[in-house]
Amino acid sequence: MKSATPFFTLRCNTLFYNSAKRIFNFVLALFLFSKSNIAQTKTTAYSDQYWLQYYGQLHLNSKWTILGDGGIRMKNGCKEKAATLGRIGLQLNLNKNLSTAIGCAYFSQYINDKISREEWRGWQELFLKHDFSRVFTNHRLRLEERYFHTLSTRKDNFNFRLRYRFYFTIPINHPTMQANTVYLIGGDEIFLNFGDQVIYNYDQNRLIAGAGYKLKDNLLINLTYVYQYAQKNTAFHFEKTDIIWLGMIHTIKLKKKNAVPNPVQNQK
């Protein structure tokens, strides 16, 4: 008489294999379904912008500097306006490496070349710089209070935004940032929203790379590429933007003995 043990073992193995196969197929289907939902939910838009901006610094003395800048931003191959802006501030140099500033700003955003939203903004910042041989680095921590008015709905909203930027400058043809110097620039800046009306804290990140030329001791021109990754109205709606940014930094000193702060510190 043959033993039933092999048959029983084979039957168990078959049941186990079939059950495991069903579980695996179920888990795989669930994974593919979840992945499909995520892919359908998360959307990414692409855009291009072109920024032209002037930065002015009026050095009152060795401690105090008036800051001001203004610019226009275009999109869609420079065919449409994206935004216009103006900003002013007052900077206090605490020592040769550390400064603080306070100011206000106005921004207007456009749709079809018409203003769609206005923003009034207050801001405060700390700025720290370090020099390492030919590499000049700085850190900027800025807090902004942003008040928005949407023209189409006549609705207002308010939020805070915290920005941290790391930035570096490397002169090429001279060891220091003197006149007639070609230099490389780079850095990264992250933006975080917070406040009662804020749902998603992440706002955007900007990766910065470019080059510049210091014509004179008080005049620089930068041509920069910025890769911007921003969150839009929902948690899964993002926008990638390629930005070409041309900036001019102009310094005016009332007294020749005044120390000159880093001329690129207050670029947005």
Helices marked H in the chain: 5-41
Distance between CA 124 and CA 219 in Å, rounded? 25
Quote the pLDDT of residue 199.
Answer: 77
List strand residue ranges (DSSP E) for 94-180, in order.
98-111, 114-132, 135-150, 155-171
Quote the pLDDT of residue 187.
Answer: 97
Find, among 206, 228, 217, the residue nearest to 259 by Cα: 217
User: How many C-alpha atoms does 245 have within 13 Å on its Cβ side?
Assistant: 26
Quote the pLDDT of residue 173.
Answer: 95
Quote the pLDDT of residue 38.
Answer: 46
Q: Pick out the chain residues at pLDDT < 50.
A: 1-5, 7-10, 12, 16, 30, 33-34, 36-39, 257-259
Quote the pLDDT of residue 198.
Answer: 79
Cβ-proximal residues to 249 (8 Å cutoff; 6+ apart), any chain: 55, 57, 219, 220, 221, 222, 263, 264, 267
Quote the pLDDT of residue 236.
Answer: 77
Quote the pLDDT of residue 26.
Answer: 54
Distance between CA 23 and CA 25 in Å, rounded? 5
